[in-house]
Amino acid sequence: MLTRIDHIGIACHDLDTTVEFYRATYGFEVFHTEVNEEQGVREAMLKINETSDGGASYLQLLEPTREDSAVGKWLAKNGEGVHHIAFGTADVDADSEDIRGKGVRVLYDEPRRGSMGSRITFLHPKDCHGVLTELVTSAPVESPEH
């Protein structure tokens, strides 16, 4: 079952400049950064709020590290802007299979590694009214040691 909006992915040409815009304009701070070589992106996650299921909602800013990446191709065609929406789920495997059974194309046969150790898959935008949709199971939150 989908439990929240996990994040909204925004494609950008210059990650540092875009981060600074969101920091200066809205006061959002970077929660996490990483380079995902498999997906060909450098990203920053800006935490917006905590959620009742223990997760959070983020803006994910994405700068392609290579032109042939999915985000690089999308950015060249569409310019900067909203790339995808991601919904959080406790079980990306079960939910993607359930959604596949309803006739929606799931882009990965098996979920892949996403930001912050999450497991992800994408749904085809043509089956989702033009919206590239991601399903995300967050990595387990480690409890702080006392």
Buried/exposed 93-110: b ≥16 CB within 10 Å, e otherwise? eebbeebeeeeeebeeee
Residues 50-63 pLDDT 10s: 877 777 899 999 99
Distance between CA atoms of residues 61 and 125, nearest Å: 19
Q: Domain ranges in the chain? A: 2-137
Count of positions (residues) in the chain: 146
Residue 38 has pLDDT above 50, yes or no: yes
Q: Can you name the CATH fold of 2-137?
A: 2,3-Dihydroxybiphenyl 1,2-Dioxygenase; domain 1 (3.10.180)
Residues belonging to the active site: 7, 43, 60, 84, 134
- State pLDDT tens for residues 13-29: 999 999 999 999 999 99
C-alpha span between 113 and 93 (Å, rounded): 13
Looking at residue 123, its pLDDT comes to: 98
Query: How many other C-beta atoms can be found within 10 angstroms of the C-beta atom of residue 111?
Result: 20
Which pLDDT tens digit goes with each residue over 77-97?
999 999 999 999 999 999 999
